[in-house]
Structure 1
Amino acid sequence: MINQDNEEKTKEEGVLEKLKECQRLKEEYLNEWKRARADFINYKKEEETRMEGVKKNTKKDLILNVLIPLLDNLDIFEKNFEKENEFQKVIFCLKSQIEDFLKKESVFRMKTVGEKFDPYFHEAVETVEGFEEERGKIKEELLAGYFWEKKVLRPAKVKVVKF
């Protein structure tokens, strides 16, 4: 009888040991799964952030290398052709649409003529003579400058009255 009780206790202890081992493994696997899930969530967030950066850089390249040079050419066309005709109306309509798109994308043209020269926003291409009160101010804009999201996208090329 004592021998039988000892056998039952030994079996019971063996079962309890197996149960504890199963619980330990379950906790270990659960923790590994939670870590893997958290790693995946972090990976997704990092990829979304990276993709936003790629989109923003692509948009910036399109604006800076395609749309703004196109606007520059349309500005030159507008300055050099005074006679109004149907072709010119189409060009102005196109220019207006591009400007509207840029505004929606937070791209704004700098105000330059009459403003004080600032090397952070303007590139002095030439200095010219002027009146005393005009010194250090922009006399003429040669190429428009643009801001994008409150940062300089392209500095304006200007003529400045000598200091």
Structure 2
Amino acid sequence: MELGIVLLIMGMVSFAVSVSFDALVPRERLNTSVRELADVLRRARSESVSRNAEYFVEYDMVEHRYRMITPLSVDGLPWIEGVDHEDLRYATSWEPLRPGVEFDSVTLAGTIYSEELVRVRFDPLGSASDHIIQLSQPLYEVAFTLEVLPLTGLIRFHEGIYARDYPTDLDFN
């Protein structure tokens, strides 16, 4: 009898743990996607500064993936704009977002993109294209925003949907 009660209690505890674990894992997929994307953005900025060359990060909004594009050609020599074909430029392999995580939009210099390839630039001075990346997990109705600051290329993290308030003429009066 006592053994039956102990087994019943253990079963109830394991059920409660498994339910909470299932609820926790999906949020971790969004957090992991945010961390992995931020790592690629930081690496693009760092490589750009250390190698004194422009690097790019390209977002595929339809397939929900991204990659870094380097200033090198596939043979390891410098890629020359206007001379070398774009297909010969070396790019890292596409990195997909975690299952269930999607790009909602990328706002680049005030223009919102949600259905195309978007390429952002990191220059040797450390600055970057002014852009905001919004990721979501529609099944669980959670979102996260990464904001890349244009002057410094640094990244800010915002839970939920974030939109920067741009200055207006009234701000300067």
Which category of TM-score, normalised to the shorter sequence, fits these structures?
0.3 to 0.5
TM-score when normalising by structure 1: 0.43
TM-score when normalising by structure 2: 0.41
Greater Rg by CA: 1
Q: Please state which structure has a larger fraction of its residues in helix.
A: 1
